[in-house]
Each structure stands twice: as structure tokens, then as C-alpha cells.
Amino acid sequence: MATEVKVPTLGESITEATLGEWLKQPGDDVAVDEPIASLETDKVSVEVPSPVAGKMGDYSVQVGDTVEVGAVIASIESGEGGAKSAPTPPEAKPAAKDDAAKPEKAGQQAPADGDVEAAALSPSVRRAVLETGVDPSTIKGTGKDGRITKEDVMAAAENKGAGTPAPSPAPAATPVPAPAEGGARNEERVRMTRLRQTIAKRLKGAQNEAALLTTFNDVDMTAVMEARSKYKELFEKKHGVRLGFMGFFVKAACMALKDVPAVNAQIDGDEIVYHDYADISVAVSAPQGLVVPVIRSADQMSVATIEKTIGDFGKRAKSGDLKMDEMKGGTFTISNGGVFGSLMSTPIVNPPQAAVLGLHRIEERPVVRDGQIVARPMMYLALTYDHRLIDGREAVTFLVALKNAIEDPTRILIDL
């Protein structure tokens, strides 16, 4: 007897999603509440649990299809009904059919028919495997339930030259000869994820509606770096989390937002909404792109609590466990492009917020101190803001207050 698997309720005002990947192949054993598929919504990935125990049945939709809440996406064969499909899972996986049919694009051989592990990889991971030539069976996955992520593949590719490759995979790495007419010029079309589509619409909408302007300043990181170096071991021992720079910047931003409340406000029709609290959105990296969870009432938190919250967000963003409610709201955003090496940028406001702070990489530059040219670890700060609400004077005042707090962290302790 087959039991239908339907798209669960996805959250307030969300009626549809995109099928991101199948986590189970036809014929696989499935336990009650075990995830069998991953759905991509406007904000996060949502796993679909099995309603019963049994064998994975046929798919009703393919990877990339848009599905509505309540739609049937697959079936589960209870008891022994699905046992006969177990020996042939590769032939019953329509979601991976198109990708498997075109492995020559990357110059690599397709996985063997019996390679269920390779067939179960997500589309982005399969593309990375084909492009790098890394054997997925040699990779230890860091994703949810030990699944291999794209980052795992890229890390394995970087370390590939350090070890001696096994003799057996060598033929798979042999390039396909170029056509006689000339070198191959391949193209690949990949449908945008729902998350990427939503990001594109929101960012373009912000540019079209708001009057965006960016103001820059720089900050000497000497004092914060010295404090971090001095107390990082004691901090981690006491609080169980590493002491980073974001805790300092979030606290300093909360203080500056109190001094300049317009930066923490938003426009609603013909009214301005001021907030007496600071819900700070922090951009963190996830396999499907950047996500922006919110630190609620960050102005009431200690540096240690902020660091713990950000660390938890980062872990759950990589595993896909962030909840939609955790990314709603927010009165101000901090985006740290410095972790990727960015020297300077003009971040885009996240509507309906009025401003976003961009942090960048720290590098030693010559500066003048007491009439002497010295090398100091400097960082550029960028505040992009909606000029309809925030004047240039207010933007500069905010950045100066932030700069003063970072260059003299004692101000954070005494709220000065």
C-alpha cells in the first residue's frame, strides 16, 4: 500500500517552493519522519519528512519543479511493497536524469550505474564533482546527516595534489578529446533557485524605490585586536565560544543606533517608524547563498551572548536548519565582506530597513599618529542608507560613533 508524501505547510504567507534535491532514492528504506526531500523557499531550505516507514516509491515531481503546499511529490511503499524496486534505484531517479545524460560537458565520465552515492548528490555538488574530477566516495561530508556539500568538494579539490591518487579513478579523470572541428565550447543553463530569485527581486526593488547613498570611513583595529588577543583564551574557556570581531561591532552599532535613531528606523507609507530596540540582521554564508538571520534585542545582549548567537546561526545555516521566523524583521543589517577578502564595497539596503553597515578586510596601512607615520591594522567601513530618511550628517555621525567605540573599546563597557 502506497502513502502519498505531500508538501507540508511552509510558513506564513508562503504557498509554494522549489524542489531542491531528493534525499532518498526509489527503493531506499525510509523511517517515519526521516527527510526524503529538500524544498527551497524564498528564505530557507525545508526538509520534507516521510509520513510513514517503508520503501521510497516513485517521484511525482523532478528537481527544479515548483510545488504548492499540499501537492503530492512522491509515495512511500509500506511493508514489503517497495522491496522489489531496491535493486534498480538509478533507473528510477528522474530528478537526476538530465544531469547524468550530459557529463561530457565538463570533460568527465558519468558515474557508474551502480554508484548510488554519486547519483544521490545534489545538482550543485554533482556539477562541482564533474568540474574538479574529485571522487565523491573519498570525501567526508560535513552537511546534514553527513551529506556532501559543494564546499566539501572544493576543499577536496584543493587538497587533491597533496596525496597520491588511487589508480582506479585515473581513467575517469581523462579529458574527452576535443572535436575535430576545434575546441569544445560548452554552455550549461541552471535554473535560479527560489532563494536567488527572491534576493534578486528584493535587491533590485531596493534600488528602484530607495534613494541609496554610501558613506565611508575607516577604523583603526589596534585596540580591538589587542583586547581579542589578550582575552580570547579566557573568553572561550568561560563562554564556550571564540571571541571574534562581530561581537564588538554589533555592540558598537547598537550604541551608535541609539545616538542616531534614524539609522534604525524605516519608512512605512508616509510615516517614519522609529524603534527603541535594535534587532540586528547579520549576513552569514549558507550552501545556497547568503542568509540574514536576526539577533533579537541585540542592544540588551553581552558580547559573549552575541558571539554565541552568531556562531549558532552560522552552524545552522550550513546544515539548513535555520527557521524562517529567525530571518524575519530586523531593524539594521551588518554584512562582513572582509571574511571573503573584500577591501571596500557599497552594500545594498535590505528593505524595509533604512541602512546597512559593510565591514571589510583588515590590512596594515601607513597612518599618521602623533606626527609619525606608522603601520596600523585598518578597516574600511561603508554605510549605505536611504537618503529619503537619513541625512548625510546623520550617516557620518553614526560612522564616527561606531569608529570611536571600536578604537576605544572601553566606551562599549561604560556605554559612552
Q: DSSP label at 229?
A: H
What's the pLDDT score for residue 61? Answer: 87
Amino acid sitting at position 315: K
What's the pLDDT score for residue 385? Answer: 96
Cα separation, 324 vs 167, whole angstroms: 46
What's the pLDDT score for residue 218? Answer: 96
Cα separation, 386 vs 347, whole angstroms: 12
What's the pLDDT score for residue 93? Answer: 41
Grid coordinates given for 63: 528537481
Q: Which H/E stretch holds residue 374?
A: strand 372-386
Q: What is the pLDDT along the chain (416 residues), one digit of tens a residue?
A: 788 888 887 765 577 788 888 888 888 888 888 888 888 776 667 788 888 888 888 888 888 788 888 888 888 887 654 444 434 444 434 444 444 444 444 444 444 444 444 445 665 676 677 767 777 778 877 776 677 877 777 778 777 654 444 444 444 544 555 555 667 888 888 877 776 777 788 778 888 888 999 999 999 999 999 999 999 999 999 999 999 999 999 999 999 999 999 999 999 989 999 999 999 999 887 766 678 899 999 999 999 999 999 989 988 888 777 887 888 889 999 999 888 889 999 999 988 999 999 999 999 999 999 999 999 999 999 999 999 999 999 999 999 999 999 999 988 876 76
- Domains in the chain, start-ordered, CATH in brackets? 2-173 (2.40.50.100), 195-414 (3.30.559.10)
What's the pLDDT score for residue 167? Answer: 44
Please identify which residue in the block is written with the cell numbers 539594521. 332
Cα separation, 279 vs 364, whole angstroms: 32
Active-site residue numbers? 387, 391
Grid coordinates given for 230: 589578550
What's the pLDDT score for residue 408? Answer: 93
What's the pLDDT score for residue 198? Answer: 75
What's the pLDDT score for residue 262? Answer: 96
What's the pLDDT score for residue 178? Answer: 53
The full DSSP string for 58-109 is EESS-TT-EEETT-EEEEEE-TTTTGGGTT-TGGG-GGGHHHHT-GGGGT-P
What's the pLDDT score for residue 97? Answer: 41
**Rounded to the nearest 10 degrees, how much is the dihedral formed by the CA atoms of 211, 333, 351, 46?**
150
Grid coordinates given for 177: 578529446
Name the H helices within 299-414.
Answer: 303-319, 392-407, 410-414
What's the pLDDT score for residue 391? Answer: 94
